[in-house]
Structure 1
Amino acid sequence: MEKVHIYLFDAHDAAKREQALIRLDKAGYMVTLARLVTEHLPTYTQARQRPELQCLLRRLTPRDTLVVLELAALGCNARDILGTVMQCRKAEVLLRCIEVGHTDLAGRPEPAAMKALRALVRLDATCRSLRSRDSLAAVRAAGKHTGRPPSLSEQQRERILQSLGGGQSVSEVARRFGTSRQTVMRIRADAPAA
């Protein structure tokens, strides 16, 4: 038998909780206190770090319904919300969000709200990638070094090249300078040809 479970996020005071219950009632959901879970955490908390939500998701069985008032109850950003929806889809749990209508967000075919959410996740990933690339290009254009700082100073690098030129093996030089063979070989490869 299908059971309706309600998850209220950020309902930290009695007045806010009462308003949420009234919204649920107006939306046509009968609230059973035994199937009501509330959690008060900062909005930026990821879904996997919301203990009450995770406990509820583990308890749900196929064909149960999870109702939330807002998408923010499912995660802290579009990617996080999408992850929670996919978790519900995998568990065959119906997921309804009053903020976006009464369609099953975890159902098939995928509702328009989920298509929009997927588009937002793609847009966010693209924007982050472009910002990162532009930032890196600006740093390089300013003549600054990017990446991890070198583990050896310029003097140490010169001494390594001198040791290699003096006939010591890569392994001996690496042991002497407390670095890896790969680092010594990279320094040798980067050295200008004499």
Structure 2
Amino acid sequence: MSQTILYAGVSTAEQNLEHQRTQAEAAGFDIDEVIADHATSGVTTKLAERAEGRRLFDKLREGDVLVVRWVDRLGRDYKDVTDAIREFMRRGVIVRTVINNMTFDGATKDPMQEAVRDALIAFMATTAQAQAEATKEAQRAGIEAVKQDPKKYRGKKPSYDAQQLKIVSTMLADGAGATAIANASGLTRQTVLRVRADPAAAQAAVERWER
């Protein structure tokens, strides 16, 4: 019995698994199973080298349908994307995209249909690689910007200053309770508890903002 599997990427907060499934179902796909790739970047990692990517290759059989939001989920560059799609087609798996509802099926034997299909694969893979390269370039630019001006990338300003943190740290070392420390430092009890949970992070945050 054939099955339809959605391969979803959830490497960022914006890439919500449930949202991707809802999008696929709204596009008319009847999803039997979702295979989610958590925190693995398609920009840097081949599909076959990702844990869930390997699971796809092991699981999909002839007649199954693989659904992806866009072909860039299937590789890190032109070669990876085209290799993955052609390997799935060779196995008799149909690859479909949520965006633009594209279908890649290796079953066709008509030369014209094959030519159109292969041209589409090449075009979409090229687009995916261009997007990946743009993402990597933006990441490199961001890293360079941090080096040039770290203050622009120092994160959210903490709700305490160095003096308040010193009070909290000293009283914590003396075994004082969170409520007593909050009263002495002028901070909320929740803030004191956050500092107690990760004092190193609290110190680093103050240092970033007081350079």
Give the TM-score taking structure 1 as reference length: 0.53
Residues 72, 125 of structure 2: 8 Å contact kept: no
Give the whole-Å Cα distance in 2 for the aligned partners of 1:15 and 1:42: 12
Structure 1: tracts of 5 or more residues without a match = 125-194
Residues 6, 31 of structure 1: 8 Å contact kept: yes
Partner of 2:98: 98
Secondary structure of 1:43's counterpart equals: coil
Percent of matched pairs sharing the same residue = 18
Shift of 1:50: 1.3
Larger Cα-atom Rg:
1
Shift of 1:60: 1.2
Instruction: State how many pairs are aligned.
Output: 121
Partner of 1:39: 37
1:77 matched to 2:77? The reply is yes
1:31-180 aligned at under 5 Å gives the runs 31-32=31-32, 35-40=33-38, 41-44=40-43, 45-108=45-108, 109-110=113-114, 112=116, 114-118=118-122
Give the whole-Å Cα distance in 2 for the aligned partners of 1:121 and 1:72: 7
State the superposition RMSD in angstroms.
2.8
Give the whole-Å Cα distance in 2 for the aligned partners of 1:97 and 1:110: 18
Give the whole-Å Cα distance in 1 for the aligned partners of 2:9 and 2:63: 22
Structure 2: tracts of 5 or more residues without a match = 130-211
Give the whole-Å Cα distance in 1 for the aligned partners of 2:121 and 2:55: 25
Partner of 1:19: 19
AA matched with 1:39? D
AA matched with 1:38? A
AA matched with 2:25? D
Give the TM-score taking structure 2 as reference length: 0.49
After superposition, what is the alpha-carbon deviation per residue over 1:131-186, rounded to whole angstroms, capped at 9, x for unaligned? xxxxxxxxxxxxxxxxxxxxxxxxxxxxxxxxxxxxxxxxxxxxxxxxxxxxxxxx
Give the whole-Å Cα distance in 2 for the aligned partners of 1:18 and 1:120: 25
Give the whole-Å Cα distance in 1 for the aligned partners of 2:123 and 2:31: 33
